[in-house]
């Protein structure tokens, strides 16, 4: 189990497919204050902290806290400022923030109980909930108050439990893009991902259809069928996993244009191995050779004739279920993209080690006869389309920045043309 957890935390730095920091914090709080599994909770701490607080001492502190606060009843909300996360928590006797500070390896550097800190809430005037199957998508609708170009962009997230801004550290790429588009007369809708708002709906039978595709399609259909948006062109913008799944989304949504930001054209399992190998070259202490070999073994098993729907998740990449991987194995984005009969814009950053120029070139080659397809390569941009320098690494995500203006200009031109 500990080995699997280590794998999950390493992959977060690669593709954000595993638990994000919010979920890691939830797991720590649950282990410590609900399950009373002190040894498991202790394993979440950075070695520099864990060495100062032995398991028995952590147990004593936990018992003392629960005597003062009572049992944990509920986590009411989670907010963050960079690597510091605030879990607004209801105990039997009071409500406080559990403040967790994460290190660069997603291990805990700090654990405090502090008075509740109020964070800015979404503007009620721009809030829009859209029904999607059995849930409601919680989102933000921005419509230009003047100079409305009658274009509306729907954002589809990368992998992981993302909010509507696709917040990663202090960066909010979807918010950056939406606000730029608004200032250029373009409406947009971005929503909290299902796995962010309703993680309980995702189980071992779930696939990317439940995770990503269906909600994107339902959001598009909402605007296509809404009289208030009659005459609008609907554009779907997908980033990373959202772009990877775009051909399948397009098949069902049938909108005017599609934007692919850093979408992988190669099978996901191939990228995982490539990313592990790359991170091993960056820091062999954080991603040791054993971890690289383990993921290679998992991918080899996935690609073998031994893989089946009963295969245990622990033997598969990212700890995802057999159902999840079976869907992806049956999916060929390069075959499906040729069926899209609408303009497409493909954008790729040169400092992106998760999805690379190889993928852009594969899309380009597959669509070489499509005169409406646009391909743009930005040498200094990361996976988040933020400019940087030096050798790409997970630390890029910790550096606060804004989505690149040249990319935004190119995107706006594509939408308006």
For residue 81, how far is the Cα from the chain centroid?
Answer: 17
- Identify the CA nearest to 236 among candidates 260, 208, 214, 262: 260
- The whole-number mean pLDDT for each consecutive block of 10 residues of the chain, a chain of 417 residues, reads 39 43 91 92 89 87 83 90 86 87 85 76 83 93 95 95 84 96 98 85 90 97 96 98 98 98 97 95 90 95 96 90 96 97 98 97 97 97 96 87 98 97
What pLDDT shows up at residue 106? 87
- Identify the CA nearest to 190 among candidates 239, 140, 143: 140
CA distance 363 to 247: 12
- Identify the CA nearest to 321 among candidates 303, 307, 337: 307
- The tokens describing 46, both together, are 């950075």
What pLDDT shows up at residue 351? 97
CA distance 53 to 66: 18
Do residues 184 and 95 touch, judged by C-beta distance below 8 A? no
The angle formed by the CA atoms of residues 185, 186 and 190, to the nearest 5 degrees, is 140
> Which residues share a beta bridge with 87?
78, 98
Report how far apart the first and last C-alpha atoms of the chain are (Å, whole number): 53
What pLDDT shows up at residue 180? 98
- Identify the CA nearest to 137 among candidates 200, 214, 204: 214
What pLDDT shows up at residue 8? 38
- The tokens describing 256, both together, are 């005017």
> How many other C-beta atoms can be found within 10 angstroms of the C-beta atom of residue 393?
18
- Identify the CA nearest to 278 among candidates 17, 20, 10, 21: 10
């Amino acid at each position: 189990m500990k080995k699997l957890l280590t794998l999950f935390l390493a992959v977060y730095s690669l593709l954000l497919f595993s638990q994000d920091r919010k979920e890691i914090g939830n797991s720590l709080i649950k282990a410590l204050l609900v399950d009373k599994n002190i040894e498991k909770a202790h394993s979440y701490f950075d070695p520099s902290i864990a060495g100062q607080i032995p398991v028995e001492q952590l147990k004593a502190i936990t018992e003392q806290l629960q005597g003062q606060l009572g049992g944990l009843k509920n986590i009411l909300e989670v907010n963050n400022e960079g690597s510091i996360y605030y879990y607004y928590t209801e105990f039997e006797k009071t409500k406080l923030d559990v403040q967790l500070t994460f290190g660069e390896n997603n291990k805990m550097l700090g654990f405090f109980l502090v008075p509740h800190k109020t964070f800015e809430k979404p503007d009620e005037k721009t809030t829009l909930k859209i029904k999607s199957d059995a849930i409601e998508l919680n989102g933000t609708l921005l419509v230009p108050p003047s100079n409305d170009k009658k274009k509306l962009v729907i954002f589809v997230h990368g992998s992981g439990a993302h909010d509507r801004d696709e917040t990663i550290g202090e960066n909010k790429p979807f918010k950056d893009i939406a606000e730029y588009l608004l200032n250029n007369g373009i409406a947009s809708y971005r929503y909290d991902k299902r796995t962010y708002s309703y993680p309980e709906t995702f189980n071992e039978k779930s696939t990317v259809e439940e995770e990503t595709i269906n909600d994107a399609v339902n959001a598009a259909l909402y605007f296509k069928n809404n009289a208030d948006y009659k005459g609008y062109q609907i554009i779907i913008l997908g980033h990373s996993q959202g772009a990877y799944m775009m051909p399948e989304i397009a098949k069902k949504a049938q909108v005017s244009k599609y934007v692919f930001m850093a979408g992988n054209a190669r099978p996901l399992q191939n990228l995982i191995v490539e990313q592990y190998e790359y991170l091993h070259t960056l820091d062999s202490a954080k991603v040791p050779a054993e971890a690289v070999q383990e993921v290679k073994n998992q991918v080899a098993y996935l690609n073998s004739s031994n893989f089946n729907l009963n295969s245990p998740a622990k033997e598969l990449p990212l700890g995802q279920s057999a159902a999840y991987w079976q869907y992806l194995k049956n999916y060929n984005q390069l075959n499906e993209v040729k069926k899209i009969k609408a303009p497409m814009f493909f954008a790729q950053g040169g400092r992106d080690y998760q999805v690379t120029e190889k993928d852009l070139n594969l899309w380009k080659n597959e669509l070489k006869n499509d005169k409406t397809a646009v391909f743009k390569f930005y040498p200094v941009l990361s996976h988040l389309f933020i400019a940087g320098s030096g050798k790409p690494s997970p630390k890029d995500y910790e550096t606060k920045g804004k989505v690149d203006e040249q990319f935004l200009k190119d995107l706006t031109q594509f939408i308006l043309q």
